[in-house]
Amino acid sequence: MSTIAATQNISFPGFDNRSSTGSGSEEISNLFNKARKGLRLVRPAHQQYQPQVSETLEDRLDHTKALCKRKTAEVAMYLSEDFRKGFFLQIDNLIDAENWEEDDKPITEASFTTLLRMLILINPDLRPGLGSTSQGNIIAAWTKDKDQLTIECLPEDKVRWVLSRQFSGIRESAAGEILLTRLLAALTPYSPGNWFDNDPQEK
């Protein structure tokens, strides 16, 4: 059987060392025991170090910026080169020591991960404007004339969205906090292509 299920719970297969035999069995057992403790055998180069914990804000922000770019590399194959380049400029401008509020927490990896997953899911033609909260959550905001969509990316695939949209001159506003998998369904009544697409008429 080689069927595997997508699940939040990770259970490790149980290796029975007692059934091993032969001269290599002790080394093999040790190897599996190490694997069971969560060691990945020989980490890839970019993970082969422990970053120093720094006191300066500038160093912490530099570390955050680098982390965001490495996380983006994990999904770079789903982003166009133009999108990625523009996105990196935005990250540089957002996570900038000269303009960072000292009391704000740096953008968290968990929030940024949700942002990336959201961008791949939505696959917008237009990148959002970026902002952040004092708790280190990243904000993605799309604006088209008087219509606004703002999404705060929380850890673990949760998003807090709020929008304001004009229909026949009358403004409708709505807000919610949901799982990412429900986002497009929640936005559908408000024609999200208005924000995400280059030419909404075509789609």
157 binds another protein (CB under 8 A): yes
Whether 116 and 72 have beta carbons less than 8 Å apart is answered as yes
Q: How far is CA 84 from the centre of its chain?
A: 14
State which of positions 21-60 bind another protein (CB under 8 A). 23-24, 27, 31, 34-35, 39-46, 48-52
State which of positions 132-151 bind another protein (CB under 8 A). 132-134, 139, 141, 143, 148, 150
State which of positions 82-141 bind another protein (CB under 8 A). 84, 86, 88-90, 93-94, 96, 98-104, 117, 120-121, 126-134, 139, 141
20 binds another protein (CB under 8 A): no
Q: What is the DSSP letter of 45?
A: G
Who contacts 118 (Cβ-Cβ below 8 Å, separation ≥6)?
140, 151, 153, 159, 180, 183
178 binds another protein (CB under 8 A): no
Residue 52 vs 168, nearer CB to another protein: 52
158 binds another protein (CB under 8 A): no
Edge-to-edge strands of the sheet including 158-167? Answer: 129-132, 138-144, 147-153, 158-167, 170-179
CA nearest to 70, candidates 43, 83, 88: 88
CB of 171 to another protein, least distance (A): 9
18 binds another protein (CB under 8 A): no
Q: Within a 10 A sphere around the Cβ of 121, how many other Cβ atoms?
A: 14
